[in-house]
Structure 1
């Protein structure tokens, strides 16, 4: 496992609860649900992570427990967190924001110039031939 989620540690090849981080996680959740901002809740709980890092912690379903990870929070706590995040996003007008997609249309028509040179080195010959390919710009 390349990254052990906050609140867990690997001991003798098994994932176990990291007691200090688990306490910090519970304090983070309590502070956030009491109305504190992500930054203030993280600061109060002693977690030094970016805003995105704290968001990932609060949305990680691993804390509910599964065959690999021990349970750190209850399903009702997790649902409360998601409801609170939704409520705050709605209040701030962050719902239904659509990111503009970059429009890219690949060129599907190509031409190749006249092959006038022949290299003994096959790699050089391939490079030369590929350099003759021109895409039709529309």
Structure 2
């Protein structure tokens, strides 16, 4: 496994709960759900990660447990986190922002002269055909 998520550790080849980090995670969730910003919730919980790192922690479904990872939070807590993140994003106007669609229009065209069968060797014939392609910048 390339990366063990925050709150877990590998002991004798199995993933187990890392007690200190699990407590930090619970404090992070509690602080965030009480209204603190990501940065302040992380600071209060003693987690030194970037804004993106904290977001990845709060959106990681593995904390609800699965066949590999033991449960650290309930599904209800995870749903509350999702709702809180959505509520804050909406309040800050970060939803439904549409990027302008970029279109690519090449500024050239291709033409090709009349193709003749000149070579029995298919590689030589292909080289010949490619040599007939002309590009015109428009």
On whether the aligned pair clears a TM of 0.5, the verdict is: yes
Is the Cα–Cα contact under 8 Å of residues 7 and 21 in structure 1 kept in the other structure? yes
Which residue number in structure 2 is paired with residue 117 of structure 1?
none
Report the TM-score, using the length of structure 2 for normalisation: 0.78
1:11 shift after superposition: 1.1
Report the TM-score, using the length of structure 1 for normalisation: 0.78
Rg comparison, structure with higher value: 2
Runs of 4 or more consecutive aligned structure 1 residues displaced over 4 Å after TM superposition: 105-109, 129-138
Is the Cα–Cα contact under 8 Å of residues 7 and 22 in structure 2 kept in the other structure? yes
Describe the shift of the 1:105–1:12 C-alpha distance in structure 2 as closer, same or farther (beyond 3 A): farther
Is the Cα–Cα contact under 8 Å of residues 24 and 45 in structure 2 kept in the other structure? yes
Query: Residues 75-86 of structure 1 correspond to what in structure 2 (within 5 A)?
Result: 75-86=75-86
1:69 has 2:69 as partner:
yes
1:88 shift after superposition: 0.6
Give secondary structure in 2 for the equivalent of 1:9.
strand
Give secondary structure in 2 for the equivalent of 1:35.
coil
1:12 shift after superposition: 1.3
Query: Residues 1-138 of structure 1 correspond to what in structure 2 (within 5 A)?
Result: 1-105=1-105, 110-111=110-111, 135-137=135-137
Is the Cα–Cα contact under 8 Å of residues 59 and 82 in structure 1 kept in the other structure? yes
Is the Cα–Cα contact under 8 Å of residues 7 and 18 in structure 2 kept in the other structure? yes
**Number of residue pairs aligned between Structure 1 and Structure 2:** 126
Give secondary structure in 2 for the equivalent of 1:2.
coil
